[in-house]
A and B are shown apart, each in its own frame.
Chain A
Amino acid sequence: NAGVTQTPKFRILKIGQSMTLQCTQDMNHNYMYWYRQDPGMGLKLIYYSVGAGITDKGEVPNGYNVSRSTTEDFPLRLELAAPSQTSVYFCASELSRGPTTYSNQPQHFGDGTRLSIL
């Protein structure tokens, strides 16, 4: 059971380039999330999805786009890379979230993509 898999693990981009960070999960989880982690800042939510075909903005969505065509995959797209997007990006998935069923439903994280924009 692979869990949440992110590719690539590392990438260096030039300003203005575009790329897609891949995320796939094999746990049949409905909910998926993209976070960025900057030193001393904790995890910030970029986008999330509650199921195939449904996505919504998180706290810091500017400069990013997502799609969710299948339950398993949730790619994150950077269209015009900027130095401010240098960060470590984490994808996470969660089985479900409801008013009385939160317990035993943790978010499972991938190992991250380290992205540098130069």
Chain B
Amino acid sequence: QKEVEQDPGPLSVPEGAIVSLNCTYSNSAFQYFMWYRQYSRKGPELLMYTYSSGNKEDGRFTAQVDKSSKYISLFIRDSQPSDSATYLCAMSFNTGGFKTIFGAGTRLFVKA
């Protein structure tokens, strides 16, 4: 079993739709949860990060962490064609070590 599972997609939605991207994980010691966006032939860039459980909102993006279910989500409201990219979830431990575990990424296409 992988430490982090993420559906690779692709996920295709019409412009303006609400997008839900998800990851599950197996290690309950993870404390920091991140979402990166990666455009084609570019490096990942950090979109959102959260510590422990709860929600965090930034503009059209909302990150949600449910530690009891070992499940994290990224919601994109009013999706735009410019949101078309691969979204990677990532998580790491609270202290010590330098290990960040990345999901395989979900490819998202937003159609105009």
Interface residues of A (CB under 8 A from B): 4, 31, 33, 40-43, 45, 48, 50, 56, 58-59, 90, 92, 97-99, 102-103, 106-107, 109-112
Contacts and interface: CB of A to CB of B under 8 A. Distances in A.
B43 A111 contact: yes
Contact of B95 (A90, A99, A112): A99
Contacts, number: 53
A114 to B, nearest CB: 8
Interface residues of B, number: 25
Interface in B30-63: 32, 34, 41-46, 49, 51
B88 interface: yes
A31 B98 contact: yes
Contacts of B41: 111-112
Given A50-B98, A97-B98, A102-B32, A41 B104 contact: yes
Given A40-B8, A99-B95, A106-B34, A45 B100 contact: yes
Nearest to A44: B102
Given A102-B32, A102-B51, A106-B34, A43 B102 contact: yes
Nearest to A102: B32
Contact of A45 (B95, B99, B104): B99
Nearest to A33: B98
Contact of A106 (B4, B49, B88): B49
A109 B38 CA distance: 10
A59 B41 CA distance: 24
Contact of B43 (A40, A98, A109): A109
A14 B41 CA distance: 23
Nearest to A3: B43
B94 interface: yes
Given A56-B98, A111-B43, 20 more contacts: A4-B43, A31-B98, A33-B98, A40-B104, A41-B104, A42-B6, A42-B88, A42-B103, A42-B105, A43-B44, A48-B98, A50-B98, A58-B98, A90-B44, A99-B94, A103-B51, A107-B46, A107-B100, A109-B45, A112-B42
